[in-house]
Structure 1
Amino acid sequence: MKKSILFFFLIGMFVQLSASNEQNLLTKAANLDQLKQMLAMNQEWVSYPAYSNRSAWIKLLGENGEIMIRDGEGYLSYEWQVVRATDYLDYKRTGNRNTMQEPYFENQRAFSALVLAELAEGEGRFLDQIIDGVFVNCEMTSWVLSAHFKISAKKEKNHFPDVKENLIGLYSSQTGAMLSWTYYFLHDEFDKVNPLISERLRSELQKRILDPYMNMNYWWTALPPFQDERLNVNNWNPWCNANVLQCYMLLENDRDKLAQAVYRSMRSVDQFINANKDGACDEGPKYWGVAAGKMYDYLSLLEKLTDGQISLFNKPEIKSMAEYVYRANVGNDWVVNFADASAKLQGNPYLIYSFGRAVESDDMMHFAAYLKERNPENSIVNSRDIDRTLRSALISGELEATEPKFNVPAYSWYPETEYCFMSDDQGSFVAAKGGDNNENHNHNDVGSFIYYSNSLPIIMDTGVGSYTAKTFGPQRYSIWTMQSNYHNVPLINGVSQHAGADFKAMNTAFDKENMRFTTNIVNAYPKEAKVKSWKRSYNLKNGTLIIDDLYVLEKTIEPNQINFMTWGDVNLDVPGKVIIKVKNETVELRYDKKKLKATIETIELEEKKLSQVWGDAIYRLSLNAKMLETEGNYQYSIRKVK
């Protein structure tokens, strides 16, 4: 009995200490009563013109208006698609989520393009198609994707919409925000046709977004009873909250109800900010735009709603989260792609510029201009996101007038996420990580690294293929791209890393004076590996990356195998030296031929998502130990061949 009391006392103390360490920047900025007095009511916060103010729209959009009109014209004869019952069922039957998603997303792309075109032109030419789109959305049983059906207790359902349950997920909330803007701008025009159109739309938004947000608990809020989600809160939190906030700001004109909903969202987004203290996006740069980027959307909206009285853009934590997208960029659209991220990413220059402007980061604003210069066809239109598109229009001229410039930082160190990026003046860039194997969109890759020469990845992280039911189910680590065997880490005694929070790095550190990153990856492996210590270090010096593995084993079972993922042309003809040629870059990897023997495995890429980045095949280069020793060290060096 006494032990039980002591246990619960300690747990309580832990929760209290954890709570006391939380910053809660939003709720510390205002309590509910204070917030209530700050609110700009009746959509007075909206900075965009009324639909009928044609001259203001022409001034706001300029040439971008013509782009929006052309986009909308492509959907004037669009045939609205029905998302069938069997489309939902296909996810459970085959694991294919695209069967349901593709017609749903195409409808939403068409709808947002039509609404934006009507705002740009203002002649009613797109109105009938928009009304049909409103009707199609209102007639859907649910706006949630087949892959995203979960009840509040986090138990998976059968991935089929339930008319009795209105869940809020990534895309249901996004659809809600898109339709809320449509209601705000066009409900008077709808009423001229038939008042029942606006009435139905407003009713569905109340039923699907406003009411359930206040009356149900969702895991992504990280609010009671889901406090445990605070430890691993992900991009769902700011994405959903930003979308729901738009719905409330555009639809709710009761001060008390609006204040309660906004304050609930502040409590929730605080958990995302609390969980991202060092600024790194552990879901990868691909997710930055819908993680930190969605947090920016949320904070920007909240700042408008409170007339600037609640603003976090002067906080260093927010600036650090903003600048990750710039610091994780290597150049020429190549990015550091740990976790479920593609190695190539163009990025949204308008979002990056806006966020950089808000946190006063000149580097981000110049980087945004650099991205725009590289991809001049990148328009302000953000598919399915009306608010981002219109905000992009507001800063479009500023972005065009900004000098394009991108300078790779000498280093970036994220001590909590345990990401380290190092570069030199000879074109080398190294990204290394410690961390754990329970990160958001995790791959088993504790201690892995990526090496770039003149922005081009040579030793690479493959990334992830198309999402299926297996990707986020119990079979996730049966997928080869998720396994440590296909990352740049050792196979110890024939054993690979395991998934879970307990499988993590220890004693991770970065010495910026000597450009040296160190970590002990012993705990990333299960007991079967019989490893006592495996200290790995990365040292970038004079254009050469030196990697050291210092190990101690309990016993030897199988030869250790050190893996490197690569592509291009790989030559193993000379023992002790591997020549890797990728496009115009040639790199030499040296190793101790007395201790190790090099072999290579070809991996054919059947996944389009991977092959469009790497081509038809990549390689796993393995350095295999020639001797079984309980302790020792391996050293490898990588440098560009001049």
Structure 2
Amino acid sequence: MVKTSILFILSLFLLIAGAGNPLQAQERNLLAGKYSEADLKKSLAQTKLWVPFPAYSDRQAWSKLFAPVAETVIEEGNRYLDYQWQVVKATDYLAYERTGSRVIMEKPANENATALSRLFFAELAEGKGRYLDQIINGVWYFTEMSTWSLSAHVPAFQSSKRTLPQEGTHVVDLMAGDLGSMLSWIYYYMKPAMDEVNPEISSRLKTNIQQRIISPYLDRNDMWWQGFQRKGDQVVNNWNPWCNFNVLTCLLLVEDRPETQLAGIYKTMQSVDKFINYIKADGACEEGPSYWGHAAGKLYDYLQLLSIASNKQVTIFDQKLIRDMGEYIDQSYIGGDNWVVNFADASAKGGENPYLIYRYGKAVNSEEMKQFATYLVSKKKEQFKASRDVFRGLEDLQTMAEIDHSKASLPSNAYKWYSETEVLFLKQPGNFFAAKGGHNNESHNHNDIGSFIFYCEEQPLFIDAGVGTYNKKTFSDERYDIWTMQSAYHNLPQINGTDQQFGSNYRSRNTSFIPKSKLFELDIAGAYPVNAGVKQWKRCYQLKKGELLIKDTFDIEKPTKANIIHFLLAKKPQIGNGSIQLNDGRYTLSYDAAQFDATVETVTQDDPRLSNVWGDAIYRLSLTAKKITSKGQYEFRVK
């Protein structure tokens, strides 16, 4: 009795303390825990001499830097010499509230930002002032906008909770941050030339950056991505390093009040700690490879900028976690037509910047990352793309020449097991298997606990569709009305007529990986709601030479509906009696015909974000159990 009471009290204490909570942050505080504000003050450069790129007047240095791509950059700039700056109308903002469309507002805003970035890079490359008037027009246009934030983002930060910009309220979202960062570089490089035209231009620009980015960042702790007021199951995702990087850029290039600059930079360090604390110890990117560049990749940008500005005195690139976060990108690469592992909202096709990967690898001393980056460049020669991410663009230019002299190769390990995130990658020559456990409240979550993907000969076989074009539903309480988010459209069972549920409490149990036998197993019963009546659903995956074995063992209390095993396929299958031909007959999925009836549904892909990856259709294979049983076992083999 005493022992039982002690165990109960202990378990209650752990529950209150948050032990076992999959979203519980680990208080590493690698930045602010290691460096005080006084340490930062000592190390910060007192002038802009820290900037690692040439002065605008150093035309020889710019010519050398742009040499491989100068013609393309100048040609792109020429296209915008007569650009007509687009007005983002009030009804464009209202469209998100009225119809759920983000694109109506985002399209003209993004096109204006693209125009300004192309003009700015062309001016840096050429240096003759030919693009200056249009750059001034772009600067003037953006300083006249009511907000730099997107219509889909402003409601979360405004007291009105509406999509029209609210008078006197400025917030930092992804778009506002990007614009603030780009405009800070324009201020730094173009201020003398703009002052010759009229000092009001640069003065106005500086004031706008301070009012729209720096002041709200310093004054507010309630912008969710900062992580300062995190509650319950709230995630800390790629917004954090991305926005903090942009704020840091503005502080370093524009803010000339020393105390304000110091306080702001140290606050970014405290905020970025919240992101690093949230990341699991294995370094996996729960948002997937196509978000890596904005998550771990933006963390690199932030840490690199902070390191440069502090004369390399404030740096954590020597931390294993930071290296592991970087190496996730090469471990998740499948091959073929740029295929990557894509759980959650990530796309199945990659496209990460190899120059960024190379720099990250160099910073954390990872030959694996550097060789992977060189492999990507050797496979398809990358062309420089000017964007509003000026720091990354200029660093790309510096990296292009260096990367050509490095060894090109892919990681050689046969598997990668992320034990905390519960994600497994298993590799054989030409084949790639990935499966996941975890919980159903990850960043960009899909209800997909226990799902898998399988590529053979570097081509998709069993797939994860990814996500369609973002709209109002995508990040709302209606998210799981969208088919791509539902477990019924993943490689998972529908148990007793019930699909998986959203929430951090819906998670896998007893997840394990045995490397020697290449066996991954987990109990996915906890991912389903109580009304499913499932006490256990143990799913096992085993990858053998030329064969994938899938085994389900289940225990359901008083089932009333037949189980259905769903498989999502890249190509239309041909159904036979106990045997299904996959990918034009190259592979076979075998099952017990006495247990199941097989049907195929064509899932038309009319969303460009999906059809650009999969074509016009993907296919859902459904194996419906012929008998309703409380206990049993299913087995499937892919050869």
TM-score, shorter chain, exceeding 0.5: yes
- How many residue pairs end up in the alignment? 626
1:100 aligned residue (102, 105, 108): 105
What is the correspondence of 1:410-425 to structure 2 with a 5 Å cutoff? 410-425=414-429
Is 1:232 the counterpart of 2:235? The answer is yes
Which residue pairs with 1:495 in the alignment? 498
2:185 aligned residue (176, 181, 186): 181
Deviations 1:224-251 (A, max 9, x none): 333557x621011000000100000111
Matched residue SS, 2:287: coil
Kept in 2, the 8 Å contact 1:279–1:324? The answer is yes
Greater mean deviation of Cα atoms: 386-395 or 354-363: 354-363
Structure 1 pair 502–236 and aligned structure 2 pair: CA distance change class (3 A): same
Kept in 1, the 8 Å contact 2:450–2:522? The answer is yes
Which residue pairs with 1:278 in the alignment? 282
Give the superposition deviation at 1:543: 2.2
Distance (whole Å) between structure 2 residues aligned to residue 348 and residue 474 of structure 1: 33
Is 1:385 the counterpart of 2:389? The answer is yes
Deviations 1:84-120 (A, max 9, x none): 1111011111101000000000000010110011011
Distance (whole Å) between structure 2 residues aligned to residue 312 and residue 530 of structure 1: 48
Which residue pairs with 1:77 in the alignment? 82
Kept in 1, the 8 Å contact 2:242–2:298? The answer is yes
Kept in 1, the 8 Å contact 2:330–2:411? The answer is no
**AA partner of residue 114 (structure 2):** R
Which residue pairs with 1:267 in the alignment? 270
Distance (whole Å) between structure 1 residues aligned to residue 433 and residue 525 of structure 2: 22
Structure 1 pair 173–11 and aligned structure 2 pair: CA distance change class (3 A): farther
Greater mean deviation of Cα atoms: 248-257 or 541-550: 248-257
Matched residue SS, 1:25: coil
Which residue pairs with 1:164 in the alignment? 168
Give the superposition deviation at 1:221: 4.1
Which residue pairs with 1:322 in the alignment? 326
**AA partner of residue 601 (structure 1):** E
Matched residue SS, 2:460: strand
Distance (whole Å) between structure 1 residues aligned to residue 611 and residue 530 of structure 2: 36
Kept in 1, the 8 Å contact 2:572–2:618? The answer is no
* Structure 2 runs not aligned, ≥5 long: 1-8
Distance (whole Å) between structure 2 residues aligned to residue 15 and residue 250 of structure 1: 41
Give the superposition deviation at 1:361: 1.5
Distance (whole Å) between structure 1 residues aligned to residue 15 and residue 622 of structure 2: 48
Which residue pairs with 2:526 in the alignment? 523
Distance (whole Å) between structure 2 residues aligned to residue 15 and residue 570 of structure 1: 46
Kept in 2, the 8 Å contact 1:151–1:167? The answer is no
Distance (whole Å) between structure 1 residues aligned to residue 391 and residue 251 of structure 2: 14
Structure 1 pair 526–17 and aligned structure 2 pair: CA distance change class (3 A): closer
Distance (whole Å) between structure 1 residues aligned to residue 48 and residue 172 of structure 2: 23
Matched residue SS, 1:135: helix
Is 1:623 the counterpart of 2:626? The answer is no
Kept in 2, the 8 Å contact 1:278–1:415? The answer is yes
1:60 aligned residue (57, 65, 81): 65
Kept in 1, the 8 Å contact 2:121–2:386? The answer is no
Deviations 1:60-103 (A, max 9, x none): 22222222212211111111111111110111111010000000
Deviations 1:525-575 (A, max 9, x none): 0111111000111111122111111100111211111000002231112x1
Matched residue SS, 1:324: helix
Scaled by the length of structure 1, the TM-score of the pair is 0.94
1:571 aligned residue (555, 574, 581): 574
Give the superposition deviation at 1:371: 1.6
**AA partner of residue 465 (structure 2):** T
Kept in 2, the 8 Å contact 1:327–1:408? The answer is no
What is the correspondence of 1:4-23 to structure 2 with a 5 Å cutoff? 14=17, 21-23=26-28
Give the superposition deviation at 1:47: 1.0
Q: Percent of aligned positions with the same letter in both sequences?
A: 45
What is the correspondence of 1:239-258 to structure 2 with a 5 Å cutoff? 239-258=242-261
Greater mean deviation of Cα atoms: 534-543 or 105-114: 534-543
Matched residue SS, 2:246: helix
Greater mean deviation of Cα atoms: 511-520 or 195-204: 511-520
**AA partner of residue 82 (structure 2):** S
Structure 1 pair 31–20 and aligned structure 2 pair: CA distance change class (3 A): farther
Kept in 2, the 8 Å contact 1:505–1:521? The answer is yes
Distance (whole Å) between structure 2 residues aligned to residue 61 and residue 477 of structure 1: 47
What is the correspondence of 1:395-434 to structure 2 with a 5 Å cutoff? 395-407=399-411, 409-425=413-429, 427-434=430-437
Distance (whole Å) between structure 2 residues aligned to residue 614 and residue 393 of structure 1: 33
**AA partner of residue 568 (structure 2):** M
Give the superposition deviation at 1:150: 3.7
Which residue pairs with 1:3 in the alignment? none
Kept in 2, the 8 Å contact 1:420–1:431? The answer is yes
Q: CA RMSD in A?
A: 2.1
What is the correspondence of 1:553-632 to structure 2 with a 5 Å cutoff? 553-573=556-576, 575-581=577-583, 586-632=586-632
Distance (whole Å) between structure 2 residues aligned to residue 499 and residue 363 of structure 1: 36
Give the superposition deviation at 1:182: 0.3
2:53 aligned residue (48, 66, 71): 48
**AA partner of residue 365 (structure 1):** K
**AA partner of residue 246 (structure 2):** N
* Structure 1 runs not aligned, ≥5 long: 1-5
Which residue pairs with 1:292 in the alignment? 296
Scaled by the length of structure 2, the TM-score of the pair is 0.95
Is 1:304 the counterpart of 2:308? The answer is yes
